[in-house]
A and B are shown apart, each in its own frame.
Chain A
Amino acid sequence: MTNDFDDTTRGFDETDFYPENMAGPRDLDLRPVPPFPFLLFASGLYSWRSPIIVGPIPPLQPIPFPRPIPVNPEMPIPDPRPGPRPVGIQDQAVDAASLSLFGNSEDLRLDVDGRYPQMTASGTIYRAFSHRTHWIARLTQTAPNSYTGQIWYKDGDTATFPFTNVTITVVKSLFANQRSATLVYTGGGSTYTRTFRFVSSYFHKAEFEYDCETGAPATLQYNTGAHPNKPAGMPAELLTIEKVYQRAGIDATRSPNSTVIPNDGPDPNTTWSDAEMHDTMQVYWSRFANLPQWAMWVLFAKQHDMGSSLGGIMFDSIGPNHRQGTAIFTNSFVANPPAGDANPAAWVNRMFFWTAIHEMGHGFNLAHAWQKHLGTPWIPLVSDPEARSFMNYPFRVSGGQSAFFSDFQFRFLDQELLFMRHAPERFVEMGNADWFDHHGFEAPDTGKETGFALELNVDRSKPLYDFLEPVVVEIKLTNTLAEPKIVPDSVLKDLHNIMLITKKEGRAARTWAPYAQYCQLPSAIVLKPGDSITDSIFVSVGTHGWLIDEPGHYAVQAAMTVQGYDLVSNPLRLRVAPPRSFEEQYVAQDVFTEDAGRVMAFDGSQVLTSGIAAWEEVVARLPQSRAAVHAKVALAMPKAKIYRTLDIDAIKGGKEVKKQFRLAKADAKASRDLLNSALMDAPDAVETLGRVDYAYYTDKFSATLKKQGDDKDARRVSDAAAQAISEAETPKQHRTRERKSAA
């Protein structure tokens, strides 16, 4: 929606075109065109997203047979030990010139005209969802469509953002898709230009859902001309809560899911505690979720436990996500007009309307006008006890509420608008909070408009793992739109683009980083509507060590960037059972080591001897265990083919170092025995390996048998694997079966 036609000088407001009784989304197609002449505005939200670069599939090149490496004594080849861990997302210093390489995006909020312009621009640069830089600049106009200014605020990953000034040139148009803004960053020894596409005349979106207790009517609008005490010259209009916030730059909409909450207990006049309101919010708010979102629940209720002295409250300081719920109390002092008032009914209506917007302002993290300097303000703020703002108490100013409303314009102050429009999103967005202790998945752009859903699942009926059992989770990316989407075929294999965090109950969250990263030329696949791609991730161990080892409760969550959008998965909760025997505790000392972790992660080794020994011990001492299934696969895979190792031998008595590849013969029988035992004989192989990895290993097993000339056995493996996979229940099937049994 655009407020291009919002001409404040003529008292002309685009929202006048919308009927006040409209609930739910507005129908943009019915919006009439205002008469000439009209003004085009530059203010609003602009966006840039990096495209996915897809190249042609190169022809396969034959891998040459290894030749001896020429020896150069001046350039010794280092020992074949694990080197420094691969550079992960947290280590990369992305400079401005490479902003376009990794699925980045940028937003620009330009605030130079329209309603209450702040002559400000702000921007957010998103890199790989966990890196974010936010800046704010004060602007002056230098030409009809050009603005320039100094950056006075930076937040987030500022080390890679050296710029000190911005120059912005705007292209206006009647048609949204032809509007753009070109921004030139300068200063700090660098210059960088970015062109943004227009997105919206508003700076943020927010949805408000209003519910009422039986007998507590909601006040959602007010006729500003109804009460005689008002600023001289202020036009009379029917003002809605949404319109107030729209004028503040928020694309505010009203949820269609309003509910009247029954009060059918023994005492219909029972009062509300904060905890009760929070519980009710969880039940009745259609959008309740323990995550940040631009949405708020507003309850009109009779009275709080505090009594009639509390007219309203932003009660949601409970749980992990605050500021999502507010309440207004109809049986409070707000309902009591001053004695002798000229229009008591209008006075009360105005106060309830004002109180609702006031409490919702707290949901946007606005403080009272006299509290600005308290707590931790986002920038140094000056308190103003005389402020004519929704965030002041009318009765606190000199002259009381009469003086307040005599010059109150039903708006927020400029410093409040600056905050709501331009502060870092996490400061304003309802429910925004640190994620997983001190780890920050910064509030991602996970709006429904991304068209993707990211899920983590375990391929078993209950997320319960045996002690020592390697944890393999399934990661799934789904196209949630009604149109096809193109994604790289390796989108779930490029682990540098996926951030995974595990957290054991009682411990700090830790980032999982893979032992290896793969650089591939991406090719594209088409995801039809509703289609998914799936892959597996072995999350127990990585370059940061073993993350899932001891018994206890864990949570795992993933995030990634696809087509410039940040996706965050569900938090997957799982449990590791305690050891059942002394044997398990004994072998754990060798299993939970780096070498053993690497052997498991790379499906085997012939050089990490201590790691190999650890898994051999698992097979010997715990042959029926789930850990043994994984161990047998890791021990079998290197034996299935000719295995190449790099040997470095120092020649006795001399400085010459002999380096050569050594080829170990395949041990087909040993490999076959181990894989048969793990994949064909173990009853829970599918469940412990997961379908994705089980299918992968059985495919490789079958292919190896075929290569060895045993077609019959290859077919046996394929057929048995297909049957095992089809017989293994999905978690959904398991729940359905349990429900039927219970019935």
Chain B
Amino acid sequence: MSDGQLLAEDRFPAEASSLALIRERVRKAADTCGFAPAPREDLVLAVDEACQNVIRHAYGGRGGDLVLTIRRQEDTIVVFLRDYAKPVDPATIRPRDLGDLRPGGLGTHFINEVMDEVTFLPPPGGRGNLLRLAKRIE
């Protein structure tokens, strides 16, 4: 988790009102890496959706801390999201079948479409969840 150039490390309340600021952090980091606008906005979307999953599902809307860490590792931007909620079983996270027109369930699909790597890592100290999202700089 500590390889590469640190671009951002911030702790946010896991609330909807934090998302605009989180998006700006990601935009700035992506610009520093030289992302073109369209893939940069895709990255912002993916991280926003992952944060929404923490807010709504990991913490069940009750709030908590969300730590965002962004690093550049050679030709890849790596975003870590750490929460301190009950550990999520990655096997239960499935993107929705898009053939089924329903209002919800799109976030995970966006994350998987946009990011090159999506991995749950063992969280330090065994508490909470640590999600690693990686995207080659384009």
Chain A bound to chain B: no
Name B residues whose Cβ lies closer than 8 Å to a Cβ of A. none
